[in-house]
Every structure is written in structure tokens, then in C-alpha cells.
Amino acid sequence: MARVEHLHRRPIVTQERIAADLRKLGLGAGDRVFFHSSLRSIGYVEGGAEAVVRAFQEVFGPTGTVMVPTFAWEYRRFEVLRTPSQVGRITEVFRRQPGVLRSWHPTHSVSVWGADAAELIEGHHLMPGLGPDSPPARLAGLGGYVLLLGVGHNRNSTIHVGEACANVPYWGRTWPVPKDPVVVVLPGGEIIDVPLLHPPGCSAGFDAVGPVLEARGVVRKGFVGAAPVQLMRGQDLIDVVVDMLRENPAALLCSNPACASCRRAREILAART
Ligand SMILES: [Zn+2]
């Protein structure tokens, strides 16, 4: 065992360990969570992504709710049951589990397991993917947590929800919307056209929320296996984002001069002052 560990240069992490680490953060049966993850960051996970998914199901239980992003940027055709998630191995394994429901949004679908799944995904394809009534917003409204598992705030989609709730002038306007609707194949085989509305912009500057969350004492830090994790209530996060953007609407834009989305956002803000 020790030799294998040495070869991988990463700790060997079991499903039991992951479950124990989640409980150590204060999570348990009946809780709700939206989590963003990097499988590799956890270490060498015995049983791979499947073991991670089972650990979450074990900890939250059938009365709890577990949501992951299963985003896919396929602008022509999106098949709810078939199009793979493009945001990590754990999310792709998760969406294929029995009992998991995937929302019908062509680019920003989420997959949900547990008590509130149907209610959370209802009508997602009819609204902006990360808008003020999207599944991550609803989960936050129910007191749900956001968990960053080995990833930073640049992967924290609920911050986009906060931008929407703040109604920041650039929201949904920094990328051109494709002219044609996306063809969406529903789970029953029916085919519908879905226009894309208000695509979210750049998230490279989102780490700016970190110090504000800490100053308010609303983020818990720890580890799952070798992965550093941050746990916060979705509503606390949205409140922080709204307050930051009220004070400075450019607070969450990135500083990369080559970023077309943030450049456009600054133009929109400048035109309003
Ligand atoms: Zn940017």
C-alpha cells in the first residue's frame, strides 16, 4: 500500500474518508448542497469518481439534496440524457446515477439527486441558465450550501446568480447570444427549440469574493482528502456578491486585458456613468 501511495505521490483516499471529511465540515443527512469539484485534487480516490458520488449520497441521504453542474457548450443540439457534462469527471458520473434528474437548459444544465430534485430543475430551459430563479438560486433560497471541492471561486456558478440578483448592468450582455435556438432532445424523446438567454460572462475575477466571505465569517474551510474545500450558504454568498456589486459594479471583473467579456462589461459600465 505504501509503495502504491509513493508511486502516485498522492494520498490514497477512500469513500469512507470522503464521507468522514464531509461530516467534519458539519454536513449531514437532510442538508442541501451544490458542489463544484476536481477529482484529481482529492488524491488517489479508491473507486474513482463513483466513490466520491457514493460518499455524497451516503452523507446527505435520501432526505437531502445534492446538485452538481453538468454544463455543456453544445450550441446546436443538446440531448438531456446523452450530452456529456463538460465540467469534470465527478459531474459526468453523477449525472448517470439512478434517480438523478438533469435540467433541460442547453448550456447550463444541473443534475440533482434527492428530495428536492424535481422542484429545483423545473422550467430551467425557459430562463437564463444562472439567473435569479435558476436551480442554484432556488437551492440557495432553500438554505442550501455551496461547496468548492478542490476548486476556486472561478468555478463558483452561484456568483453569477449573485450578479443577476444585483442586476449589474453588464449581466448577460458581455457575450453575443447565438442567433439560432438550440435543439434540445428531452428525456422522453420529444424535441424542442430553446433560445439562449443572458449567457453568463467571465468568472476569472471571482476570487475577489473570498476575503469578503471571510471577513463576514460565512465561509468554513477544511479538507476532503487532500483537496482544500470551502463551504458557504448559497444565500450568504449571493448577499456578499450583491453588496460588493452595489459598492463597485466592476468588483468581479478580471484584470486580463485580453478578456473580451470583461472589456465589454467595462464598456457597458462606462456608458452608464
Ligand atoms: Zn474576464
In angstroms, rounded to a whole number, what is the distance separating the alpha carbons of residues 27 and 41?
20
Lowest mean pLDDT among 6-15, 155-164, 202-211: 6-15
Residue 264 identity (one-letter amino acid): R
Please tell me the predicted confidence (pLDDT) of residue 214.
98
DSSP alpha helix (H) spans, the chain: 2-8, 15-24, 39-42, 48-60, 89-95, 117-121, 135-141, 158-166, 209-216, 234-247, 260-272
Distance CA 145, CA 153 (A): 14
How many Å lie between the centroid of ligand 1 and the Cα of residue 38? 22
pLDDT of residue 4: 54
Is the per-residue pLDDT at 202 higher than 70?
yes
Angstrom CA distances, 265 to 126, 139, 152, 174, 189, stand at 25, 28, 22, 6, 39
| pLDDT reading at 112 higher than 50 | yes
pLDDT over 90 at 213, yes or no: yes
What's the average model confidence in pLDDT over 198-218? 97
Average pLDDT, rounded, for the chain = 96
Residue 120 predicted with pLDDT over 60: yes
Does residue 108 sit in helix, strand or coil?
A: coil
What spacing in Å lies between the alpha carbon of 42 and ligand 1's midpoint? 28
C-alpha to C-alpha distance for 24 and 147, rounded to whole angstroms = 13
- For ligand 1, the distance from its centroid to the CA atom of residue 44, given in whole angstroms, is 33
At 272, is the pLDDT very low, low, confident or very high (cuts 50, 70, 90)? confident
- CA separation for the pair 244, 272 (Å, rounded): 18
Percent of the chain topping pLDDT 90:
94
Tell me the mean pLDDT in the region 96-125. Answer: 98
| Cα–ligand 1 centroid distance for 259 (angstroms) | 5
- Whole-number Å distance, alpha carbon 158 to ligand 1 midpoint, is 17
In the prediction, which pLDDT does 1 show? 45
Residue 41 clears pLDDT 50, i.e. is over it: yes
Q: Taking 80 as the threshold, does the pLDDT of residue 9 lie above it?
A: no
Q: What is the pLDDT of residue 7?
A: 55
Q: For the chain, what is the domain count?
A: 1
User: What is the reported pLDDT for 10?
Assistant: 83
Predicted confidence (pLDDT) at residue 186 exceeds the cutoff of 60: yes
> Is residue 39 over pLDDT 60?
yes
Range of the domain at 63: 2-272
Question: What's the pLDDT score for residue 172?
Answer: 95
What average pLDDT does the segment 11-38 reach?
Answer: 98
Q: What is the distance in A from the centroid of ligand 1 to the CA of 172?
A: 14
Mean pLDDT of 70-88: 97
Taking the centre of ligand 1 as the mean of its atom positions, its distance from the CA of residue 88, in whole angstroms, is 22
CA angle 210, 31, 156 (to 5 degrees): 30
| Centre of ligand 1 from the C-alpha of residue 113, in Å | 32
Please tell me the distance from the alpha carbon of residue 216 to that of residue 78, in angstroms, as a whole number. 40
For residues 76-81, give the mean pLDDT: 97
For the cut 80, the answer to whether the pLDDT of residue 36 exceeds it is yes
d(CA 40, CA 88): 10
Q: What is the pLDDT of residues 224-266, one digit of tens each?
A: 999 999 999 999 999 999 999 999 999 999 999 999 999 999 9
Q: For the residues 18-27, what does the mean pLDDT come to? A: 98
Which residue matches cell numbers 453544445?
74
Residue 165 CA to ligand 1 center (angstroms) comes to 19
Given a cut of 50, whether residue 2 has pLDDT beyond it is: no
- How much is the average pLDDT of 118-146? 98
Write out the residues surrounding ion ligand 1, Cβ under 5 A: 202, 204, 254, 259, 262
* Averaged pLDDT, 10-32: 97
The residue among 87, 89, 97, 92 whose CA lies nearest residue 129 is 87
Q: How many CA atoms lie within 13 A of 259 on its CB side?
A: 16
Does pLDDT of 144 surpass 90? yes
Cell of 90: 465527478
